[in-house]
Chain A
Amino acid sequence: MSATGSSNPEYVNARVRARRGALYDDEDYRKLVRMGPAEIARFMEESTYEEEINALGARFSGVDLVEFALNRSLAKQFNDILDWAGGRLYDLIARYLRKFDAWNVKTVIRGIYADTPREEVETDLIRAGEFDDRLVERLLEATTIEEVVDRLSGTIYGPPLRTAYEDYEESGVLVPLENAVDRAFYENLLTGLVTNEATEQYREFLYAEIDFRNARNALRLARSGANIDPSEYYIDGGRLFSASELSQLASSPEELVTRIRESTYGDRLSAALTDLDRADSLIGFERALEAALLEYSESLGHVFPLSVSPIISYILAKEREVENIRAIARGREAGLSEDEIEEELVIL
């Protein structure tokens, strides 16, 4: 469907509830952690991933088969949701799923930049966003970055990419283009969002998404020691920091951590913030942010069962499942121990 027509949360929620039941549970993860990549592919073939594994089995094997099947399943599931949804509900879901459009735009641009063959770029796309196949095909056919920018002119990425293209021409690096794409996605999460009682929680979740992104980027900048103004990387729309506050806080990671600790997210992230003080790696903190977002989304599903919230909660759970299975398969391939892999998984 599309943004036209009437909103149909009851129908979509009913379909999503059935899909949610098919997600892997703790017992499945316990089994997966003990399997090798080939066994994982076999296990997936016997579950909801059968179609994807069979379709890709002739082209890929081992962990690559697992990863591409996961991406294809993710795309199929989210496309189904967008197909089912109509009216305002479509708009609410598409806001979040545009992150895959952003991913695809960046993948196409990187492909052109690095002279990667079209087939390889196409394999790396995750067609789970709002772009239709025709637009994706047109992007894949583009031979220059300027053509990609032109072909995106009717989307939310068009105007910011046009501005960033000048910077790209000057610097020769993709950073301005990639940042413009991601910024367009994040800043459009909340633009024009009409909130009522049913969508209030969804809005809270989107705030958290932006705040967490700002917090992790500020910490990355602070820890990198690079002489960069953090406000350049600030995403508007969050509630935790303003651009000027972030600029001040980024020079002192301790103050930044204190600020997060004292915020509404403090309780959820308390343990991770304590670890962050001790460790020199941000990975644990990022994992904690992901877990906090997932927890947030879990709670979304229970308050208004017939709103967009349970659907977003399912989308996040599905994303997390894909990430967990991929982590297990890649971890096993790299020879990581079961404990190390389990530590990386985010399971509620």
Chain B
Amino acid sequence: MAEDVKPTRKNLMEIEDRIELSERGHDTLEQKRDGLIMEFMDILDQAQDVRSGLSDDYERAQHKINMARAMEGDVAVRGAAAALKEYPEITTQSKNIMGVVVPQIESSRVKKSIDQRGYGLLGSSARIDEAADAYEELLESIILAAEVETAMKKMLHEIETTKRRVNALEFKVLPDLYEGQEYIEQKLEEQEREEIFRMKKIKAKKEEEEKEAKEADKAAAKEPGTATAD
């Protein structure tokens, strides 16, 4: 991998910049992951409470409706249920927990007063009221559970993503960058050494040539008298 990089000083500077950025990103992401985990633990506690409450509410509502169906008859319960067409209204907004956008579900018209349930008060009974009450509470619990559990799932997904990014930086990106940096540094040092060696060689050769030239000049200076005598 590192061999793919051209061992130039420019590339070394680029790698050093990327290492600095990656290290900073790694620290930040690690902090984010830890923060998310802490937030997640809080939401997890809340989700567990909501789940257990939801389970209790469901049991209670089921018992109440069974009693109402037993004592008032299935026809009466179905009739009371058919007396209302209006659905509860649910609006979703979003809030940000450490960069994770989680839903905030607002519900209205879930809990109704006795005169808003559609069926007449004069001909109905407390059993139907209590079954309706229990189901309204169950619906509110379901809405709360939907909010908390969606937040939990989104947080979990974000933690996974952040963890993968931290691991990728820690075990892949940074080691590769370090390796690349080391490779380029080694190559540059090697090139430097080769350059110094070459320079020394050139210098030695030059000195050799200079020496030879000097000796040749000296020899030439001694030769002229011999030539005159001839």
- Give me the interface of A with B, judged by CB distance under 8 Å: 63-64, 67, 71, 102-103, 106-107, 110-111, 113-114, 116, 124, 172-175, 177-179, 181-183, 185-186, 213, 216-217, 219-221, 224-228, 233, 235, 281-283, 285-286, 323, 326-327, 329-331, 334, 336, 341, 344
Contacts and interface: CB of A to CB of B under 8 A. Distances in A.
Contacts, number: 130
A67 B120 contact: no
A44 to B, nearest CB: 16
Contact of A110 (B82, B114, B129): B82
20 contacts: A106-B79, A106-B120, A107-B75, A107-B79, A113-B82, A124-B75, A177-B120, A178-B120, A182-B120, A185-B123, A226-B113, A227-B113, A228-B113, A235-B122, A282-B126, A283-B67, A323-B71, A323-B73, A330-B70, A334-B66
B126 A111 contact: no
Interface string B27-66: 0000000000000000000000000000000000001001
| A interface majority secondary structure | helix
Contact of B74 (A106, A110, A179, A330): A330
Contacts of B75: 67, 71, 107, 124
B185 interface: no
B230 interface: no
A106 B70 contact: no
B122 A124 contact: no
B183 interface: no
A223 to B, nearest CB: 8
A281 B133 CA distance: 12
Given A116-B82, A224-B113, A178 B123 contact: yes
Given A106-B123, A114-B82, A175 B71 contact: no
A107 B83 CA distance: 9
Query: Chain A CB within 10 Å — which of B122, B123, B127 has the most?
Result: B122
Interface of B: 63, 66-67, 69-71, 73-75, 78-79, 82-86, 113-123, 125-127, 129-130
A327 B75 CA distance: 13
| B interface majority secondary structure | helix
Nearest to B112: A226
Nearest to B84: A173
A113 B66 CA distance: 25
A228 B123 CA distance: 17
B73 to A, nearest CB: 6
B122 A186 contact: yes
Contact of A286 (B78, B79, B120, B127): B127
Contacts of A67: 73-75
Contact of A344 (B70, B114, B118, B123): B70
Contacts of A106: 79, 120, 123
Contact of B70 (A103, A217, A226, A326): A326
A287 to B, nearest CB: 8
B66 A336 contact: yes
B48 to A, nearest CB: 27
Contacts of A226: 113-115
Given A178-B119, A233-B121, 14 more contacts: A71-B75, A106-B79, A110-B83, A114-B82, A174-B119, A175-B115, A175-B119, A175-B120, A220-B114, A228-B115, A233-B122, A286-B126, A330-B70, A344-B71
B86 to A, nearest CB: 8
A174 B83 CA distance: 6
Nearest to A125: B75
B122 A183 contact: yes
A234 to B, nearest CB: 10
Contacts of A227: 113
Contacts of B74: 63-64, 67, 330
A329 B71 CA distance: 10
Given A106-B79, A226-B115, A281 B130 contact: yes
Nearest to B127: A283
B119 A182 contact: no
